[in-house]
Structure formats: structure tokens, C-alpha cells
Amino acid sequence: MEISEKSIETTPPAGGCGGSGEGACRLPMLHMPVPGEPMVVARHEDVRAAIDELLADVGRNIDEMGKFEIEITPDRTKDDLFNNRPGTHLRDKILNLPEAPGVYMYIDKHGKVIYVGKAKRLKRRVSSYFNRRHDSVKTNLLVRNIVDMRFIVVATEEDALHLENAMIKAYKPHYNVLLKDDKSYPWIVVTKELYPRVFMTREKGIHGKYYGPYSNVQAAKVVLQLIRDVYPLRSCRHLLDEKSIARNKFRLCLDYHIKKCSGACRGLINPDEYGKFVAQVRQILGGETVVLENYLKEEMARLGAEWKFEEAQEMKEKYEAVKKYNAKSVIAVTEEADADMFAYDENGDSAFVNFMHLHHGAVVQSLNMEFRRKLAETPAEILSMAIWEISRRFERDFKTVIVPFEPDVEFENMEFVVPKRGDRKKILDVGMKNVRQYMHDKEKMAEKLDPEKGVVKLMEQMKKDFRLNVEPRHIECFDNSNIQGTNPVASCVVFRNGKPSKKDYRHFIIKTVVGPDDFASMKEVLHRRYSRMMAEGEPLPQLVVVDGGKGQLSAAVEAFDEMGIRGEVALVGIAKRLEEIYFPGDQLPLYIDKKSRSLQVVQALRDEAHRFGITHHRSRRSKGQVVSELDSVKGVGDVTAQMLMKTFKSVKRVKEATMEQLAECVGNAKAKIIYDHFRNKEASQGENR
């Protein structure tokens, strides 16, 4: 970081980050420049130390006092507040801002920091908030609450990112992105003992080497199970040293007898031989599983060549266990030994990031993070924050990073790669799959904890996606079914709050349409459905979906016009081939994001309507085929046919029944008619043959 004379004028006063009259907060002095000599460039360690020193005072005093001292008198009119114009004093501060990288803080009338932001050019960035109305309501509220501001000048945009994140953690501003990753992830630790142990823990401070963290606990258990299957390491918690082993202080446990432990507590294996197992375990935990697999294969071949078949068999079992693990866990064997990847996805105000560090294609570190937007932060900004957070948390200096898109900050000595193909693309694809699964799991968990919250969010999204005036709490979908015009039926399925309401499903038998005319059938069904609902005083749905393209939609529009409900009930059509959404009067369809919950609900509606309609159509078709044979018997009506089907279950059994069996069901007279009809029919068919 380059320190100028201006940037070290003052250190923060006791009351907070007050600074000079221009509203500038200055970083504490790192190196005093000597006049006439070039500026001293500080290392990143010095920059971070300076940030810690700055926040040690400011953060503590802010916690104690709760506010900054306001330097300017609020002078914004109602018109200024509505149009996001700064007052005279605030405008003067903005005009005096430097065109340099830095961090700015917005302060409300109570003196509290409500927003912290970074900028490549402070003056340009801060000015962009004012003198215009923003699309985001939250941004307009932020600007309306700004009374005063402070700023800190730094040397680079990367330093601004570090300082911004540190100050967000210190002040917790109301309008800043919130990192919701506050849970403790498990690690796998290899202890430093005479006979080391390997186990999973969430605690820090254990004397040993930590591997991880593992955001997926199941993944950590799989690794531990592999180690336990391959290596006879102890699982006990005994404090083993040479004296306790020599005194035979401990008894051999069950693990020793089932060959899961080598008996270290009784000295049955020496530390050097045990250490070879631990070294190979470190290879697995360090991601060297492909190297270990090749080594075990070579050892198996060597022992076999030396006719040491029992030892070769043991080595083969280890080799197969590691090979099986690699088949599931190794993503891609890249040219470079190590690879770092960040994947990103978002849903509404929540953004999700997955980080993975791979060694020889095996995932060594993996972490998921969730960020909650407060303003209109871009994906590039959130990705920059995630990269900085992982770098700080794991004390890592990244060199080459695989990303889905470029972040908004240029990090020193860091190269970003957006792959299109090859092994790096495979790694990114796995990351994208992980981050989407994480996002899906978080959504499911949130819905379980607060079902109504999930419904409200879905309804808001559907209202926006389908350009509705109200939330579509009640949606109905219609589908026609017929085969070459026979047994034409239609189905109506109902979703309430985005979920099926099966008690409200309805079947319709087409009555006025002759032949396979889907458009006319759709029009008839809509007329019958909504004319009856209006006559009975039932509330109409907010959205109606018809399965089909422009033709079915046009028929539906005609029906709505004739009933006088067009405009009162929203109407859309969905085409099967490309999931196109058609609106009345629009020439071009709407394509909704395939991952959108709105489209998923409409697809579920369409599929349910199709299933319900097909089931009804098949039922009517089969009943028609059954009844037609019995109807051909002169003197047998519907009631008699139903009695026969209830007793014999099928027409075939009716044909094969004896006179006595038929008489028990329908009486002697009708039994004789039915019996003679089918016997005469069989005789005539035999003659024709």
C-alpha cells in the first residue's frame, strides 16, 4: 500500500472515525515518508495490521458510544429527499472527494454507520448514489437516510476490499451484504503423538495437523471410513507414551481382535512402522490419492513377483479401496497439482458461493457460503467478497482461480480463468452443481421452518414473472384429451399457494363439440367452469393456464370475452416443445429461466392436468369398450350390465359363466337371454372360420 502524506495526517479520534473537516478517515501511519525520498510501499501484512489497528480503536469506541459525531447540519428538503439530492454540506463533501481507491461510510441522523462501500474512484462512486431515482427501493431508502459520510483513501482496489470487509464486520451496517456463513464446519485432524490418532472435530487448539474444512459432514465420514478400512490405526483416546506402554497399562480392545487396530497400546507395532501408515493417511487427506493408488498398485505387483502372496493380497485390498474412493471423489486430473475454484448462483436476495481446493483432482477443501443482499449488489461484487473471505479464513494466497465470471476487483498476483472446456470446465461444473444443491437445501430448510415465508416469496416471483397485478394464490390449468375424436374429455387442476389442491380437481365430458376440435373443446370447458363459478358466487382464480400455444389461448380469450372476465382473470398458454409462455395479444412468447420456480410451478400444473386428463380418458374408453358388448345383448340394460360386471368383474367371465351362475345374478329369464346370445355368437364365429 502506498502511503501519501495526506493519508497519514491524523489517526482516528477517541469518539470514532471523525478525522478532518473534509470527512476523511486516515489509516494509521505505517512508514513516515521522508521529504525528497520516494514513497514507501507497504506489504499486505502491514496493510492488514493497519486495518486491525484502526478498527481496534474505532470498533471498540463505536460499541461503547454507539455513534459518530455528526459533522454537518441536515439541510435536505422534502424534494431533495424524494429525488435523492444531497444537501449543500453533503454536496460539498462529495465534490471534494478524491478520484482514488478507498472506502466510504454513510452515516444516518443518529450517527450510526448504515452502509460501507469500496470504490476504485471514490468521487465517481459516491456521486452515483445521488441526483437520481434508483430502481431498487432499498437503495432509495439508503440515500434518503444518509446525513453524513466518511472516507478512507487506500492505494489499491484490493486494499479497499480488505478494509471494506473489515469495517463491515466491525460496524455491521444495516444496508450491507450479510455473510450468513456463521456455522462451524468439521475438520479432520492428525494428532502429533507417539502413535497419532485421526478423527473428525469442530474444535480448534488440538495439537496436530488440520485438514478441511468439510462443508459436507458426510464427505468427511467417507474419508474417515476409507482410512479405517485401509489402515490399522488406533481409535482410542489413551495417552500413549513409552512408559505407559512398557507398564502394560492398557488392555487390547475389540478393534485389535477384528484387525482394525495394530495394537499400539501394547507396543505390538513400533512407531516407525506405524508412522508409515500415518504418512499414507496424510497423502489421502492432502489429496494425493491418485499418487497413493499408483504406489499401492506398484507395491502389489512387487510383492506378487516376490511370491509374498499374503502381503500382496493385503496390498490389493488397500489398492481397491483407494481406487473405489478415487472413482467417486476425484473430479479431474489436471496438469497443475493444485486448483482453486469458486462457483456462484443466486435466488432473489440470496447469493451462494461454493469454494473448492483440489489437489491432483481430489477435493481437499470445500466450503459453502450464503450472502444476503441488502442493496443491488452485483454478482461480481459478491464474488470478490467471497474470494477475500476465503483468503482471510484459510490464510491462502491464490495464484490461479477458476471462476464462472470475472470478479469486480483486480487482486494482486492473482489470475482468474473462466473455462469453456477441458478439465477446468469439469471442475467448475462440479462446483456449480454443489452450489445449486446448497441453495436448494437452504430453500427447503427455510420452507420447513417458515412455510408461509416460502409461499410469499414464490407468489412474489410469479407475480413478477407473469406480469400480474395480484399474487396468483389460486391457479387453474386446463387440458383436452381425445383419440381421433373419441371420448373427448377435459381436465381442470387447481393449485393453491403453489401446491396441488386435489379436492378441487374437475373432469369435463365434452358435450357440444363433434370431432377432434381442441379449440372449440377448450372454449366449451372454460364457459362451463367459470359460468358456474360466477353463478354460485365462488371466487375466480387469479391465473388460468391453458395447455397449448396460440390456438388454445385464442379460444380461451374468446370464452373470457363472452363471459366478460377478460382482464379480471389473467390468462396464459404454455407450449410443450420449448416451454414457451404466451400472453394474449403478444406476437412473441416469453421464455422464463429454466431454473425459475415460477416456470417449475406452471410445468407441474401442465403435467398434472395432462396426467389427470389422460387417466379420465382411459377410464372412459375402457368402460365404453366393456359396456358396448353387453349393450349388444337385446333385453340387457345398464342396470343389468352393472350387476353382471360387479359379480363377474369382466365380460370374459360373463361369457364363460354357466346358466346357473348367471341365474343367481340376474334371474332365470335374463340369464337364458345372455347365455343364448353368447353361445349363438360363438357358433356363428365358428361357422365363419
Residues 6+ apart with CB under 8 A from 136: 375, 376
Number of helices (H), then strands (E), belonging to the chain: the values are 22, 20
Instruction: Check: CB of residue 201 under 8 Å from CB of residue 186.
Output: yes
Percent of the chain with pLDDT over 90: 4
Instruction: Give me the pLDDT at residue 60, please.
Output: 38
**Quick one: three-class SS letters along 359-380?**
ECCEEEEEEEEEEECCCCCCHH
3-class DSSP state of 474? strand
pLDDT band at 688 (very low <50, low <70, confident <90, very high): low
Instruction: Give me the pLDDT at residue 3, please.
Output: 30
Summarize pLDDT for 529-569 with one digit per residue, the tens: 899 989 888 999 999 988 877 778 888 888 888 888 888 88
Q: Which of 328, 342, 340, 345 is nearest to 442 (CA)?
A: 345
Backbone φ and ψ for 490, nearest 5 degrees, come out as -140, 155
Q: Does the pLDDT at position 631 exceed 80?
A: no
The average pLDDT across 181-193 equals 76
Q: Does the pLDDT at position 192 exceed 80?
A: yes
Beta bridge partners of 201: 187
Listing DSSP states for 580-620 in one string gives: -EE-TT-SS-B---TT-HHHHHHHHHHHHHHHHHHHHHHHH
Summarize pLDDT for 264-320 with one digit per residue, the tens: 888 888 888 898 889 888 877 776 667 777 777 888 888 888 888 887 887 887 777
Q: Does the pLDDT at position 27 exceed 60?
A: no
The average pLDDT across 502-512 equals 84
> Cell for 292?
497413493
Percent of the chain with pLDDT over 70: 80
Sheet of 208-211: strand order equals 198-201, 187-191, 208-211
pLDDT band at 6 (very low <50, low <70, confident <90, very high): very low
Q: Does the pLDDT at position 577 exceed 90?
A: no
What pTM did the predictor assign? 0.52
Summarize pLDDT for 125-184 with one digit per residue, the tens: 888 889 888 888 888 888 888 888 888 787 777 777 777 777 777 778 888 877 665 456
Q: Does the pLDDT at position 616 exceed 70?
A: no
Instruction: Give me the pLDDT at residue 1, please.
Output: 32
Instruction: Give me the pLDDT at residue 516, please.
Output: 66
Instruction: Give me the pLDDT at residue 585, please.
Output: 76
Q: Which residue has the cell 471514490?
A: 122
CA–CA distance, 636 with 638 (Å, rounded to integer): 7
Instruction: Check: CB of residue 231 under 8 Å from CB of residue 277.
Output: yes
> Burial letters for 82-96: b for 16+ Cβ neighbours within 10 Å, e otherwise?
eebbbbebbbebbee
Report which of residues 675 and 374 the model is more confident about.
Answer: 675
Q: Which of 160, 86, 75 is nearest to 116 (CA)?
A: 160
The average pLDDT across 614-643 equals 66
| CA dihedral sign of residues 190, 193, 197, 203 | negative
CA–CA distance, 357 with 336 (Å, rounded to integer): 12
| CA dihedral sign of residues 178, 183, 184, 186 | negative
pLDDT band at 404 (very low <50, low <70, confident <90, very high): very high
Summarize pLDDT for 436-461 with one digit per residue, the tens: 888 887 877 777 777 777 788 888 88
Instruction: Check: CB of residue 177 under 8 Å from CB of residue 372.
Output: yes
Listing DSSP states for 296-360 in one string gives: HHHHHHHHHHTT-HHHHHHHHHHHHHHHHHHHHHB----SSSEEEEEEEEEETTEEEEEEEEEET
Instruction: Give me the pLDDT at residue 101, please.
Output: 85
Report which of residues 72 and 103 the model is more confident about.
Answer: 103
Instruction: Give me the pLDDT at residue 495, please.
Output: 92
CA–CA distance, 464 with 593 (Å, rounded to integer): 13
Instruction: Give me the pLDDT at residue 343, please.
Output: 92
pLDDT band at 337 (very low <50, low <70, confident <90, very high): low
CA–CA distance, 440 with 449 (Å, rounded to integer): 14
State the burial class of residue 228 (Cβ atoms within 10 Å of its Cβ: 0-12, 13-18, 19+): middle
Instruction: Check: CB of residue 319 under 8 Å from CB of residue 301.
Output: no
Beta bridge partners of 113: 107
Instruction: Give me the pLDDT at residue 150, please.
Output: 82
Residues 6+ apart with CB under 8 A from 539: 474, 533
CA–CA distance, 606 with 548 (Å, rounded to integer): 10
Instruction: Give me the pLDDT at residue 321, please.
Output: 74
Summarize pLDDT for 82-120 with one digit per residue, the tens: 888 888 888 888 888 888 888 888 888 888 888 888 888
Instruction: Give me the pLDDT at residue 59, please.
Output: 39
CA–CA distance, 409 with 159 (Å, rounded to integer): 10
Average pLDDT score, the chain: 77
Q: Where are the alpha helices (DSSP H) in 350-420?
A: 379-394
Instruction: Check: CB of residue 432 under 8 Å from CB of residue 343.
Output: yes
Residue type for 251, please? R
Residue type for 168, please? I
Instruction: Give me the pLDDT at residue 33, please.
Output: 34
pLDDT band at 244 (very low <50, low <70, confident <90, very high): confident
The average pLDDT across 628-657 equals 78
Residue type for 242, please? E
Which of 221-235, 352-366, 462-476 is most confident? 462-476
